[in-house]
């Protein structure tokens, strides 16, 4: 692409982009720091455990979990293996389709989610949601949907 083909950012676009990048880079670390202090888990580990905790019978197929956790299959596999090693999850072949793997939250995993959820929700509210009015929330949901689709 020739330099003449570059569409430079307008001041408005630059402000939006800079704000988004700041959020993307700073917010996960702050949320994770709060989770580490409260429960000794990373943000991705908590999200993984939380998604499984909300599933029927606290069980999900790995493919569904990868979609919900927005993680690559290899990253998710490594995290599930680590959580399994800590006794928080267990994996086994899907009885309905042996080619797939089911992840199940153990009782200690459930206990960790119960401990971690309240401080995590306080952090999410204090760092994000409490600063937004209903119109902001609707806009954020729409923007996240648009950007997530690409």
pLDDT digits (tens, 9 = 90+) for 12-60: 999 999 999 999 999 999 999 999 999 999 999 999 999 999 999 999 9
- The β-bridge partners of 59 are 104
Instruction: Choose which CATH entry (3.40.50.880, 3.30.420.10, 1.10.10.10, 1.10.1740.10) describes domain 33-116.
Output: 1.10.10.10
List alpha helices for the chain, DSSP H: 11-39, 43-54, 62-69, 73-85, 107-127, 134-148
42 burial type by CB count under 10 A (0-12 exposed, 13-18 middle, 19+ buried): middle
Which residue, chain included where needed, has tokens 């083909």?
5
Report pLDDT for 3.
65
Q: What mean pLDDT value characterizes the chain?
A: 93
DSSP state of 128: T
Whether the pLDDT of residue 135 is over 60: the answer is yes
Write the DSSP string, 14-36. HHHHHHHHHHHHHHHHHHHHHHH
Record the pTM.
Answer: 0.87
Round to whole Å and give the CA distance between 118 and 35: 10
């Amino acid at each position: 692409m020739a330099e003449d083909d570059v569409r430079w950012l307008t001041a408005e676009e630059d402000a939006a982009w800079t704000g988004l990048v700041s959020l993307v880079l700073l917010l996960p670390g702050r949320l994770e720091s709060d989770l580490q202090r409260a429960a000794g888990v990373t943000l991705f580990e908590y999200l993984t455990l939380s998604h499984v905790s909300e599933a029927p019978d606290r069980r999900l197929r790995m493919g569904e979990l990868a979609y919900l956790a927005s993680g690559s299959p290899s990253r998710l596999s490594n995290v599930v293996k680590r959580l399994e090693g800590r006794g928080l999850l267990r994996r086994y072949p899907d009885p309905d389709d042996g080619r797939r793997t089911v992840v199940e939250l153990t009782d200690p995993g459930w206990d960790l989610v119960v401990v971690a959820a309240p401080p995590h929700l306080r952090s999410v509210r204090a760092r994000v949601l409490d600063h937004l009015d209903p119109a902001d929330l609707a806009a954020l949901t729409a923007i996240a949907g648009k950007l997530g689709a690409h």
